[in-house]
Amino acid sequence: MKYLLLCLLTFSFLFSFSYTNAQIVEQPDPLRPSVPDSSKASKRDSSKTAANQLKADTLKNVVPPPTIFRYRFTADGTATAGNVSRTLLQLTSAVDYQLSNYFKLSSNPSFVYGKQNGILAEREWFGDLRTTYRYEKRLYYLAFGSYERSNLRQINHRWTAAAGVGYKLLNHKRAYISITDVVMQEYTDFLELNDINIFRNSARLFGEYTFDKDRFTITHTAFYQPALGQYNVRWNASLSVQIKLTQVVSLRSTVANAYESLIVPGRQNNDFRFTLGLVYEKK
């Protein structure tokens, strides 16, 4: 049994399937808030809070403090040899740090590296830093900046800065849905195209659902980012299914699709990928 489990873990780490080209898709997979919404989301939630208040008051010295630092790390990849030689490594992460009851810092850095028949295909970097104000409330505010480089898309540099609002459509222990809308300035330095400096509207829908005492988790993220004043559209979406193997290690499978209307010659507008890998997560 131990040998079978070891084989499964090894296989899941090394296995990945990619249709067209795997790539960094600009779709941060955030960590949902660890603390329930402080606003009264429903009468049921508020009644539970009231019922537990007396118990909490009597156990102040026993109740542990809330978690202020959380993180998730995902690794997957593939290696093949023969008529087609292919190597691919994908590393993604999500970090949350609560500065206070009002402010939270978050980041979702990622890196993809791949070769096909000895030729560099992917070398994709993405990093961002976000701050959220009133993150425990149903209506909250956020601002962020990001940086991206992409060999696949032939992007030398891409800088973005944005600010806007978010709203929690659903905030329960087993189900969470939020929507954000921001105005974003983007500067992209293409290797072969003229540089662009535009404003976009960026809308994101994020959801997470857990089942069987948190053993199974389903997560979805979708972005729609049209440019303001001209036709230049980006959209991407992903769906992940996660199965907990231990308290901190899970097996995760993800399907993702990304589309950009403006690309360099010789590249495709659409990229689809399916990956299977391991997740190390501490919440």
C-alpha torsion 125→23→268→266, nearest 10? 50
Kindly give, in sequence order, each residue whose CB lies less than 8 Å from that of residue 219, ignoring residues fewer than 6 positions away. 29, 206, 207, 208, 209, 239, 240, 242
List 79's β-bridge partners, or say none. Answer: 87
64-94 b/e with 16+ CB inside 10 Å = b? eeeeeebebebbbbbeeeeeeebbbbbebbb
Question: What does the alpha-carbon distance between residue 136 and residue 118 come to, in Å, rounded to a whole number?
Answer: 49
Question: What does the alpha-carbon distance between residue 88 and residue 17 come to, in Å, rounded to a whole number?
Answer: 10
Burial class, 200, CB count within 10 angstroms (exposed 0-12 / middle 13-18 / buried 19+): buried
- The model's pLDDT over 54-100, given as tens digits with 9 standing for 90+, comes to 454 544 444 445 568 889 898 888 888 888 888 888 898 999 999 99
Residue closest to 267 by CA, chosen among 184, 162, 169, 193: 193
Mean pLDDT by 10 residues, the chain (283 residues): 44 40 53 56 47 50 62 86 85 91 93 91 93 94 95 92 96 94 96 92 96 93 94 93 94 91 85 86 78
Amino acid 165: pLDDT: 97
Question: What does the alpha-carbon distance between residue 213 and residue 255 come to, in Å, rounded to a whole number?
Answer: 24
